[in-house]
């Protein structure tokens, strides 16, 4: 079961609160992405990249 959820066609969220917002392009070919990390979620740079990669894969398969 995925821990990612589609909020709308421009935003997805992980169960831990990490979000990716698509500002330009498409999920399959993003031109501008904005990660949104809640203050209480402490992530190292490698984990941030991992969530971005997972989120992009999820969104390209599940978001409009």
Q: What pTM value is reported for the model?
A: 0.88
- SS3 (DSSP) at 19: strand
**Is the per-residue pLDDT at 64 higher than 80?**
no
Cβ atoms within 10 Å of 7's Cβ, excluding its own? 12
* pLDDT, position 63: 82
**Whole domain around residue 36: which residue ranges?**
4-62
- Decide if 62 contacts 6 (C-beta within 8 A): yes
Q: pLDDT of 3-59, one tens digit each?
A: 999 999 999 999 999 999 999 999 999 999 999 999 999 999 999 999 999 999 999
Asked if pLDDT for residue 1 goes beyond 90, the answer is: no
| Domain count along the chain | 1
Measuring CA to CA, how many Å separate 35 from each of 1, 52, 58?
Answer: 22, 7, 15
């Amino acid at each position: 079961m995925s821990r990612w959820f589609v909020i709308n066609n421009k935003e997805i969220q992980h169960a831990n609160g990490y979000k990716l917002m698509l500002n330009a392009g498409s999920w399959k070919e993003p031109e501008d992405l904005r990660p949104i990390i809640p203050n209480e979620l402490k992530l190292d740079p490698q984990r941030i990249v991992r969530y971005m990669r997972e989120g992009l894969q999820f969104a390209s398969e599940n978001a409009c």
